[in-house]
């Protein structure tokens, strides 16, 4: 067997041209497959990142049972040891505390139900750029007395301007009535109507006072450096906090987004399948032609006494070598290119880009460097190469030696 392997290897280099051509087909297959998959995954990762930035973050920590029954009574008291836990994990880049509840906003004859969020101004802005959405007035600053931030849709409906007073009325902690008056400090605008018409922001201390929930939070949202580390980050947190908390990943909190991505992903897989058909045939065609070209060579070897099955193995090894070399070299070449497009992504243009920008999202299509891409595509291409080798194998076993030699 060892002899055959050596023979296979030598064969490759005996006819450089032929080997290079075959190698090239594998090489291209790997590069293209990895490129497409990387782009697809990059776009999904960016979709997810944007969606979670404007809502729950990648992971959220609440008091146990809060997600199924979201009310102020299921808040938890903030414990500084939690921050210590978050800081210990390198994948967690930001933790954003919030106190969220529901209240009636009232001004004159108009009343409207609104979602009230008590925020840490700096952290919230770092997560989703709220400060940049302010179109009139100011964002929260470090002064002790703060007002309220409302959307322009709500301001219009309630006929309020900067400096006017907004009354909030609702149910506080343990059923106590929550009532407060706040001057309008800033008016913001989001491209989504829902946010403009129904969201108001208070500083965290103001919200806690309003709802009678001292030092309490309803959630802490976590953003990650590396979106592939969600599960490990979640496990890490669960290990370090007691069972009075629940730790949830974004798919559990945003089923619609999950469905959208799965839908797109299915489409992406079909595209990938089509690509594979094309490249697989490229590899196969090359190997087919190569086999035909080596008719005489094979016939000669059998004629001088090599057993057909040994010849078969030799060809298999040749194919494996070519496959591996092609895959490795292809991966090595495409990797730096993808790294470049990961850091400097392809830009989106047109109306889509504009809307993205209104949200404060970069309109780009980044490439993904998820290692699984390289692994899966590599393995698939290797399989294609080996399957293609079946033709020469079949051929070898049927070749009429004498006839071929005579040609």
Partner 1 sequence: MLVQIAWRNIWRNKIRSLVIIIAVILGLWGGIFSDAFMQGMAEQQVYSSIHTETGHLQLNAPGFLLNHDMQLRIGDADSVVEQINRLPETEAAAATIQITAMASTASSSTGIIVNGIAPDTYAKVSDISKLMVNGDYFKNDRKNMVVVGQQLADKLRVKLHSRIVLTLQTVTGDIIYGAFKIEGIYRTHNSEFDKQMIYVQKDDLQSLVGFPSGAASLVRVLLQKDDDTKEVAEKLRSQFPAEQVQTWIELSPMQQVLSGTMTQMTIIFVGIILIALAFGIVNTMLMAVMDRTREIGMLLSIGMRPSKVFGMIVLETVFLSLTGAVVGILISIGTIYWFGKSGINLSMIAQGANAMGYNSVVYPALGAGFYFQLAIMVVVVAIIAGLIPARRAIRLKPAEAVRGD
Partner 2 sequence: MKKLFFIPLVALLFSFGKTTQQPSADEIVRKANDLMMGRSSQSIATMTVIRPSWTRTVSMKTWSLGNDYYMVQITAPAQDKGQVFLKRFNEMWNWMPNISRIIRIPPSMMGQNWMGSDFTNNDLVKANSIVNDYTHRILGNETTDGYDCYKIEFSPKPNAAVVWDKIIAWIAKDKYFMLKSEFYNEDGELVNRETQSDIKYFDDRDLPSKLVMTPVKEKGKQTILEFQKLNFNISLKPTFFSQQNMKNIH
C-beta of 245 vs 391, nearer to partner 1? 391
- Per-residue contact flags (x/-) with partner 2 for residues 56 to 95, judged by CB under 8 A: -----------------x----------------------
Part of the chain binding partner 1 (CB under 8 A), chosen from 12-20, 77-85, 240-248, 320-328: 12-20
Part of the chain binding partner 2 (CB under 8 A), chosen from 77-85, 119-127, 131-139, 179-187: 179-187
- Per-residue contact flags (x/-) with partner 1 for residues 50 to 89, judged by CB under 8 A: ----------------------------------------
Pick one of 176, 352, 383, 386: the residue that binds partner 1 (CB under 8 A).
Answer: 352
Cβ proximity of 277 and 87 under 8 Å: no
380 belongs to the binding site for partner 1 (CB under 8 A): no
Helical ranges in 166-254 per DSSP H: 193-198, 204-210, 230-240, 250-253
Cβ proximity of 365 and 43 under 8 Å: yes
212 belongs to the binding site for partner 2 (CB under 8 A): yes
Which entry of partner 2, partner 1, none binds 94, CB below 5 to 8 A by partner kind?
none
Contacting residues for 93 by C-beta, under 8 A, at least 6 apart? 223, 224, 225
Pick one of 104, 258, 288, 365: the residue that binds partner 2 (CB under 8 A).
Answer: 104
Give the residue among 236, 219, 240, 250 at the shortest CA–CA distance from 78: 219
Give the residue among 171, 149, 163 at the shortest CA–CA distance from 104: 171
Which entry of partner 1, partner 2, none binds 386, CB below 5 to 8 A by partner kind?
none
Within its chain, how far is the Cα of 19 from the centroid?
38
Q: Which of residues 230-289 bind partner 1 (CB under 8 A)?
A: 255-256, 259-260, 262-263, 265-267, 269-271, 274-275, 277-279, 281-282, 285-286, 288-289
Pick one of 181, 215, 225, 232: the residue that binds partner 2 (CB under 8 A).
Answer: 181
Give the residue among 195, 240, 247 at the shortest CA–CA distance from 221: 247
Between CA 86 and CA 93, with CA 90 as vertex, the angle to 5 degrees is 65
Distance CA 64, CA 146 (A): 31
Per-residue DSSP letters for 4-64? HHHHHHHHHHHTHHHHHHHHHHHHHHHHHHHHHHHHHHHHHHHHHHHHHHTTT-SEEEEET
Q: What is the closest distance, in whole angstroms, from the C-beta atom of residue 73 to partner 2 in the complex?
A: 8
Part of the chain binding partner 1 (CB under 8 A), chosen from 139-147, 176-184, 208-216, 290-298: 290-298
360 belongs to the binding site for partner 2 (CB under 8 A): no
Strands (E) in 120-249, as ranges, are: 134-137, 148-151, 165-171, 177-188, 199-203, 216-217, 219-224, 245-249
Distance CA 341, CA 335 (A): 10
Q: What is the closest distance, in whole angstroms, from the C-beta atom of residue 377 to partner 2 in the complex?
A: 52
Pick one of 222, 290, 384, 389: the residue that binds partner 1 (CB under 8 A).
Answer: 290
C-beta of 113 vs 403, nearer to partner 2? 113
209 belongs to the binding site for partner 2 (CB under 8 A): no
163 belongs to the binding site for partner 2 (CB under 8 A): no
Cβ proximity of 366 and 345 under 8 Å: yes
Which entry of partner 2, partner 1, none binds 278, CB below 5 to 8 A by partner kind?
partner 1
Chain residues in the site for partner 2 (CB under 8 A): 73, 104, 106, 111-113, 167, 169, 171, 174-177, 179-181, 212
């Amino acid at each position: 067997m060892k002899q055959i392997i050596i023979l296979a290897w030598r064969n490759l280099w005996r006819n450089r041209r032929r080997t290079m051509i075959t190698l090239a087909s594998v090489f291209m297959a790997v590069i293209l497959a990895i490129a497409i998959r990387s782009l697809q995954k990059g776009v999904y990762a960016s979709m997810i990142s944007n969606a979670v930035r404007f809502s729950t973050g990648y992971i959220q920590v609440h008091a146990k049972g809060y997600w199924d029954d979201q009310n102020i009574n299921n808040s938890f008291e903030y414990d500084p040891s939690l921050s210590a836990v978050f800081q210990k994990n390198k994948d967690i880049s930001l933790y954003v505390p919030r106190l969220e509840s529901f209240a009636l906003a009232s001004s004159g004859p108009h009343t409207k139900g609104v979602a009230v969020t008590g925020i840490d101004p700096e952290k919230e802005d770092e997560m989703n750029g709220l400060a940049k959405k302010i179109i009139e007035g100011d964002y929260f600053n470090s002064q002790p007395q703060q007002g309220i931030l409302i959307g322009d849709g709500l301001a219009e409906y309630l006929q309020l301007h900067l400096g006017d007073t907004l009354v909030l009325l609702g149910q506080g902690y343990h059923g106590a009535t929550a009532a407060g008056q706040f001057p309008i400090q800033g008016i913001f605008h989001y491209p989504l109507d829902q946010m403009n018409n129904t969201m108001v922001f208070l500083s965290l201390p103001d919200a806690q006072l309003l709802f009678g929930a001292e030092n309490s939070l309803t959630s802490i949202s976590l953003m990650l450096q590396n979106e592939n580390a969600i599960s490990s980050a979640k496990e890490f947190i669960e290990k370090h906090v007691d069972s009075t908390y629940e730790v949830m990943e974004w798919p559990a909190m945003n089923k619609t987004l999950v469905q959208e991505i799965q839908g797109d992903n299915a489409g992406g897989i079909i595209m990938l399948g089509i690509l594979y058909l094309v490249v697989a045939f490229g590899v196969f065609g090359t190997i087919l032609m190569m086999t035909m070209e080596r008719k005489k060579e094979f016939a000669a070897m059998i004629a001088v006494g090599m057993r057909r099955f040994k010849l078969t193995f030799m060809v298999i090894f040749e194919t494996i070598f070519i496959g591996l070399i092609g895959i490795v070299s292809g991966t090595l070449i495409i990797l730096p290119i993808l790294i470049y497009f990961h850091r400097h992504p392809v830009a989106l243009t047109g109306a889509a880009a504009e809307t993205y920008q209104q949200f404060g999202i970069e309109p780009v299509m980044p490439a993904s460097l998820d290692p699984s891409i390289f692994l899966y595509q590599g393995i698939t291409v290797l399989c294609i190469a080996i399957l293609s080798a079946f033709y020469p194998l079949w051929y070898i076993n049927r070749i009429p030696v004498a006839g071929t030699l005579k040609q």
